[in-house]
Structure 1
Amino acid sequence: MLEINDVRAGYDRTTVLHDVTVAVPHDGVAAVLGHNGAGKSTLLRTAMGLIRPSHGTVLLDGEDITRLAPHQRVARGMAYVPQGQQSFPHLTTAENLRLVADGSPRGGGRDAITEALDLFPVLRELSHRRAGLLSGGQRQQLAIARALVTRPRILLLDEPTEGIQPSVVAEIETTVLSLAARGGLSVLLVEQHVGFAMRAAERYYVLEAGRVTSSGEGGTGAERMVREALSV
């Protein structure tokens, strides 16, 4: 679904990613793991078009989208949930979802909002509460729901469990696993929780200093190898 091939990218004159290649399977999950500063967020921002690579290509379902703007990638079915539990804080939960659904080029609409609320029932209970008054875990669920109402073909998640209370981490993990299992959606997951990432992912990639140092098939059997790769 998504292929990032030999990508070199960074900020100004600083190169962060060094010839990185990552592939996300159709209707599957690829996980990218690594310590802080390894280049994980830069990889997602490059995939989404927020950073233009100096070398390499980004392909979506075989189409070269390397030079497309972010809104053009959204129109082709990409959605991105960055770090920080982002939302419009002065709007209610329901207004946040409607605003994104109404502006979606893929026509999410009311049905897409209902589907997102089915995945995160707590948001239905908090539909009239301003997003800025939600807890961190609730805002993260809202951020993911906002991406899902665009009816994406591929979802980019940047550390969705970072700084979240354990009970909500379990809910987010269950949701990502169910999305991957039902088909129709591919996920590129950046995650620090190795257990969660390996349960979800068909493929994994370990980044260190902007380079892929380890990769392979996901699954719980790969967890030990990944932990060893991260401990180096």
Structure 2
Amino acid sequence: MLEIDDIRVGYDRSPVLHGVTVAVPKDGVAAVLGHNGAGKSTLLRAAMGLLKTAKGTVRLDGEDITRLAPHQRVARGMAYVPQGQQAFPHLTTAENLQLVADGRADGKEAIAEALDLFPALRDLSGRRAGLLSGGQRQQLAIARALITRPRLLLLDEPTEGIQPSVVAEIEETILGLTRRGGLSVLLVEQHVGFAMRAAQRYYVLEAGRVTSSGEGGAEAEQTVRAALSV
């Protein structure tokens, strides 16, 4: 679904990614792991078009989208959930969802489906997003992205700083979405166990380079932990 081929990306004149190649399987998950500062978030921002690539290509379902603007990538079925449980804090949960659904012919149905995935948000529909817990805001952020009915979902540390019970809910939702088909996921994650349960492919980044990659699955967990401990 997504092919990132030999991209080089930086901020101003400071290079961050040095020839990174990553592929996301159709209707599957590719997990990117690494320590802080390895370039994981930069990779997602480049995939979404928020950072320009100095070299390399990005293809979505075979189409070269390297020079497309972020809104053009969204129109082609990409959605991005940044790190940090982002939402509009002064709007209610319902208003945050409606804001994304406005203008969509299937907006009401899309909201209902998102709430079915995260039923806890129904009881919080009238609460301002700024008053939600971190886990609740993360569920809201993912629900907002899913309302756009993406073909490819980019998730940046979806379980960071969240209570274990909500982490389990988010894990199960993401796994369930990919099992039913029609959605591919590029997942940046520090939680190795979750990443390996979810992913068909994994990539370990270190200082802006892929230092280890292979097939996902529980049997790869020890390999990844060893790569991260170097």
The question of a shared fold, defined as TM-score above 0.5 by the shorter chain, is answered with yes
User: Could you list the per-position Cα deviations for residues 203-227 of structure 1 after superposition, in whole angstroms to 9, with x for gaps in the alignment?
Assistant: 0000000000000000001001000
Equivalences for residues 1-232 of structure 1 within 5 A: 1-103=1-103, 107-232=105-230
CA–CA distance in structure 2, aligned partners of residues 57 and 108 of structure 1: 33
CA–CA distance in structure 1, aligned partners of residues 101 and 155 of structure 2: 19
Q: What is the CA distance between 1:108 and its match in structure 2?
A: 4.6
Kindly report the root-mean-square deviation, in angstroms, between the aligned alpha carbons of the 2 structures.
0.8
Matching residue's letter, 1:47: A
Q: What is the CA distance between 1:180 and its match in structure 2?
A: 1.1
CA–CA distance in structure 2, aligned partners of residues 62 and 80 of structure 1: 19
Q: Which runs of 5 or more residues in structure 2 are unaligned? A: none
Matching residue's letter, 2:93: T
CA–CA distance in structure 1, aligned partners of residues 59 and 195 of structure 2: 23
CA–CA distance in structure 1, aligned partners of residues 182 and 61 of structure 2: 13
Q: What is the CA distance between 1:103 and its match in structure 2?
A: 4.8
CA–CA distance in structure 2, aligned partners of residues 109 and 216 of structure 1: 38
CA–CA distance in structure 1, aligned partners of residues 87 and 100 of structure 2: 10
User: Could you list the per-position Cα deviations for residues 95-121 of structure 1 after superposition, in whole angstroms to 9, with x for gaps in the alignment?
Assistant: 1001111156xx551111111100100
CA–CA distance in structure 1, aligned partners of residues 136 and 38 of structure 2: 28
TM-score if structure 1 supplies the norm length? 0.98
CA–CA distance in structure 2, aligned partners of residues 165 and 92 of structure 1: 22
% of aligned pairs identical?
83
Q: Which runs of 5 or more residues in structure 1 are unaligned? A: none
CA–CA distance in structure 2, aligned partners of residues 67 and 91 of structure 1: 34
CA–CA distance in structure 2, aligned partners of residues 124 and 94 of structure 1: 8
Moved over 6 A (4+): none
CA–CA distance in structure 1, aligned partners of residues 78 and 109 of structure 2: 19
